[in-house]
Copies of this chain bind each other. A is one copy, B any other.
């Protein structure tokens, strides 16, 4: 009885510690509303009160949450990681909506502002602004992209440090590969160390990206904003026409390049940088499959575009096809064309690619390339097993044997992901969308890709309020790799 009481009291202490953390997080987040104020001041915009209001509300709430818990320093356990992760995206998503709702009437309701904010932080990049993004105050546009960029920072830590430890859908595979103390269940020191290194890589790449965009002809403002939304695989743009606005092949090439960079593992970028060797990329099995599949899918997308004369010449067909494939597949979601009416299977293939391509440890969404590979290998193994029922068949990846429990966790992850995709698609059909549009909207949000097909391609303002709520849920679900969010809804999670 004594130990039980002690355990319970310890569990209460950890809840208080989570409360402290969320309070701190909010206060920290409130400070991110200052840069947009600076942008607003620089361009003489009337959005300053909105951002200040957002900041004060956020800081006050954060302080009120933090104050009663300020002395609690109980070590967090792995299980608390789920709660912190879920709260990070939901709470920040809510408070991030304040300046949008206050500053502009581009968002007609609270839910539209929350949609935009969550879409920003989850780096989904689907927008509620139906037209006139070009006319939005620059401070607002800057703020939208900054949400992307901050969300991207969160994702990298989530993907490289938190999820492997939580053991989400086989991601414990990557436990051994990140630095820091492994076997203990203390979250904080490990995450801090990994985060610092990866944020440096992320920030450096963003800086390089911005400079290149600027050099290729974007305005400095556009260059910074688009660098934010490229490296985060976000996809918000300062223009209704997205990257198509610039109408420049070199810019499209640069965006394509950095989308591919953002869609691959940032821990890998770190290694390459540390060891000064590009060969490290090619030695990574996931990265190899990622590039190879891009080649295969490029052909599958471009061949029908050329065959059916969708564009006046082959050059345009390939240019539009590859850009749009990479934009969807890396879940960045920029646009130079709308693939809705591209011939035969191409629109569906492009939507399907949003599930598949993102690498683990990237800012992309979806089920992640490594899981796809293990999934296919498991299927092939079942086939082998029929011929050799008594043989022990091992699954290897990158020369290492993958433990069976990881392979099966991947299977469980897939089933839940597919099941939820189907259920959410049905929910979206019920709100009045046709099957393909509904599916593409769910894929766009679950995979944090951004654009869907048809009426949910350029923006999602036309979706009903229920539909918007469903899609907000889908964005969070995808960003939290499904299980992190679902687990918080299970009774046994709260039975400590």
With contact pairs A82-B386, A414-B415, A436-B436 given, residues A426 and B349 touching in the complex (Cβ less than 8 Å): yes
So how many copies of this chain end up in the complex?
2
Q: How far is the CA of A18 from the CA of B468 in the complex (A)?
A: 59
With contact pairs A345-B426, A414-B415, A430-B345 given, residues A483 and B378 touching in the complex (Cβ less than 8 Å): no
- Asked if B483 and A383 sit within 8 Å, CB to CB, the answer is yes
Contacting residue for A490 out of B78, B384, B416, CB 8 A? B384
Say if the beta carbon of A254 comes within 8 Å of chain B. no
- Asked if A412 and B379 sit within 8 Å, CB to CB, the answer is yes
- Asked if B411 and A415 sit within 8 Å, CB to CB, the answer is yes
- Asked if A416 and B82 sit within 8 Å, CB to CB, the answer is no
- Asked if B409 and A345 sit within 8 Å, CB to CB, the answer is no
A411 → chain B closest CB, angstroms: 4
How many residues in A have their beta carbons less than 8 Å from beta carbons of B? 51
- Digit string of A91-123 for contact with B (CB within 8 Å is 1, else 0)? 000000000000000000000000000000000
A168 cross-chain contacts in B, Cβ below 8 A: 386
- Asked if B493 and A378 sit within 8 Å, CB to CB, the answer is no
- Digit string of A358-392 for contact with B (CB within 8 Å is 1, else 0)? 00000000000000000110110111111111000
- Asked if B352 and A487 sit within 8 Å, CB to CB, the answer is no
With contact pairs A348-B435, A436-B436 given, residues A382 and B169 touching in the complex (Cβ less than 8 Å): yes
Contacting residue for A411 out of B349, B376, B411, CB 8 A? B411
With contact pairs A379-B416, A415-B378, A415-B379 given, residues A409 and B426 touching in the complex (Cβ less than 8 Å): no
- Asked if B413 and A382 sit within 8 Å, CB to CB, the answer is yes
A291 cross-chain contacts in B, Cβ below 8 A: none
A345 cross-chain contacts in B, Cβ below 8 A: 426, 429-430
With contact pairs A349-B426, A415-B411, A430-B344 given, residues A167 and B386 touching in the complex (Cβ less than 8 Å): yes
Q: Which of A473-495 contact B (CB under 8 A)?
A: 483, 486-487, 490, 492-493
Say if the beta carbon of A249 comes within 8 Å of chain B. no
Q: How far is the CA of A385 from the CA of B405 in the complex (A)?
A: 11
A352 cross-chain contacts in B, Cβ below 8 A: 422
- Would you give 30 A-B contacts (Cβ < 8 Å), ordered by A? A78-B389, A166-B386, A167-B389, A169-B382, A344-B429, A344-B430, A344-B432, A345-B426, A348-B426, A348-B429, A348-B435, A375-B415, A376-B415, A378-B408, A378-B411, A379-B412, A379-B415, A379-B419, A382-B408, A382-B412, A383-B486, A383-B487, A384-B492, A385-B409, A387-B492, A387-B493, A388-B492, A414-B415, A435-B435, A435-B436
Q: Which 7 A-B pairs have the closest CB atoms?
A: A382-B412, A411-B411, A345-B429, A379-B415, A345-B426, A379-B416, A386-B487
